[in-house]
Structure 1
Amino acid sequence: MGDLRRSISVIFISLLFSKSVKSIHKIKVKVLRKDGSRYSLLDVVAVEEPLEIRLSVQGFTLRVATTMRTPGHDKELALGFLWSEGVIRDIDSVQSVKRSLDPRIEVSENVIVVELSSGTQVDWSRLNRKVDVQSSCGICGRQSLQSLRNLEINRPKGAIWPSDLSLGTFSKKLSSSQEMFRKTGGVHASGLFDYDGNLICLREDVGRHNALDKVVGWSLNHKNTPTEDMILLVSGRISFELVQKALLVGIPNLVGIGAPSSLAIELAQEFDMTLLGFQRECSVNVYSGDWRIGKS
Structure 2
Amino acid sequence: MGRVTERRRVIRIRDGAVSTRPDTLVAEEPLEIRLGGKPLAITMRTPGDDFALAAGFLVSEGVLASAAELANIVYCAGATGEGGSNSYNVVDVRLADGVPVPDITLERNVYMTSSCGLCGKASLDAVRTTARWPLDTSPDTPVRIEPATLSALPDRLRAAQRVFERTGGLHAAALFTADGELLDIREDVGRHNAVDKIVGRALQQGQLPLSSCVLMVSGRASFELVQKAVMAGIPVLAAVSAPSSLAVDLAVETGLTLVGFLRGTSMNVYAGEHRLALSAAASTD
TM-score interval, normalised by the smaller of the two chains: 0.7 to 0.9
Equivalent of residue 6 in structure 2, options 21, 25, 28: 25
Q: Is 1:54 matched with 2:34?
A: yes
1:171 aligns with 2:154: yes
Contact 1:165 1:197 in 2 (8 A): no
Q: Corresponding residue for 1:151?
A: 130
Structure 1 match to 2:259: 276
State the Cα distance separating 1:44 from its structure 2 match: 0.7
Tell me, yes or no, if the aligned pair for 2:174 and 2:198 is still in contact at 8 Å: yes
2:94 aligned counterpart, secondary structure: strand
What is the CA–CA distance in structure 1 between the aligned matches of 2:158 and 2:115, rounded to whole Å? 20
Tell me how far apart the structure 2 counterparts of residues 210 and 226 of structure 1 sit (CA, whole Å).
19
Summarize deviations over 1:18-55 as a string: whole Å, max 9, x none: xx7510011110012343x3111111100000111111
Q: Deviations over 1:73-132 (max 9, x none)?
A: 1110011111112233454121111222589x6434111111112332122267634422
The equivalences for 1:232-271 within 5 A come to 232-271=215-254
Q: Give the letter aligned to residue 40 of structure 1.
A: T
Which residue identity does 1:204 align to in structure 2? E
Within 1, Cα distance between the matches of 2:111 and 2:266?
38
Cα deviation 1:120-159 (Å, max 9, x = unaligned): 2122267634422111111111241122222255422352
Aligned partner of residue 182 in structure 1, secondary structure:
helix
Query: Conserved in 2, the CA contact under 8 Å of 1:167 and 1:281?
Result: no
- Counterparts of 1:98-177 in structure 2 under 5 Å? 98-100=74-76, 106-124=85-103, 128-157=107-136, 159-163=142-146, 166-177=149-160
Structure 2 equivalent of residue 66 of structure 1: 42
**Given that residues 86 and 123 in structure 1 are in contact (C-alpha distance below 8 angstroms), is that contact kept between their aligned partners in structure 2?**
no
Q: Which blocks of at least 5 consecutive residues in structure 1 are unaligned? A: 1-19
| Aligned residue pairs, count | 271
Moved more, 44-53 or 150-159: 150-159
Distance verdict in 2 for CA 1:204–1:52, change over 3 Å: same
Q: Is the 8 A contact 1:87 1:126 kept in 2?
A: no
The TM-score, its normalising length taken from structure 2, stands at 0.88
Q: Deviations over 1:162-217 (max 9, x none)?
A: 55851222221111010111111111000000122211010000011101110110
User: Partner amino acid for 1:147?
Assistant: A
| Conservation of the 8 A alpha-carbon contact between 1:99 and 1:111 | yes
Deviation above 4 Å: which 4+ runs of structure 1? Answer: 162-165
Structure 1 residues 126 and 259: alpha-carbon distance in aligned structure 2, compared to 1, 3 A threshold: farther
Native 8 Å contact 1:79 1:217 kept in 2: yes
Change in Cα spacing, 1:272 to 1:127, as seen in structure 2 (3 Å) is: farther
Q: What do you get for the CA RMSD once the two structures are aligned?
A: 2.2
SS at match of 1:124: coil
Residue 78 of structure 1 aligns with which residue? 54
Q: How does the TM-score come out when normalised to structure 1?
A: 0.85
The residue that corresponds to 1:205 in the other structure is 188
Q: Distance in 1 between matches of 2:161 and 2:236?
A: 21
Q: Which runs of 5+ in 2 are unaligned?
A: 280-285
Identity %: 42
Q: Which residue is equivalent to 2:283?
A: none
Distance in structure 2 (CA, Å) of the matches to 1:126 and 1:275: 33
Give the aligned partner of residue 7 of structure 1. none
